Amino acid sequence: MNKYELAIVVNANIEDDERTAVVDKCKALIERFGGSITNVDEWGRKKLAYEIQKMKEGFYYFIQFDAEATAPAEIENRVRIMDNILRFLIVKPNEA
CATH assignment of the domain containing 76:
3.30.70.60
Question: Could you tell me the CA-to-CA distances from 49 to 33, 52, 53, 79 in Å, in that order?
Answer: 32, 9, 13, 21
* Residue range 17-71, pLDDT digits in tens: 999 999 999 999 999 999 999 999 999 999 999 999 899 999 999 999 999 999 9
Domain that holds residue 60: 2-87
Residue 45 falls inside a structural domain: yes
Q: How many domains does the chain have?
A: 1
Query: Contact, 57 vs 11, CB < 8 A?
Result: no
d(CA 40, CA 10): 14
pLDDT at 93: 87
Phi, psi of 35 (to 5 degrees): -90, 160
Residue 59 falls inside a structural domain: yes
Beta strand spans in 34-92 (E): 36-52, 55-67, 85-91
Residue 94 falls inside a structural domain: no
Give pTM, 2 decimals: 0.89
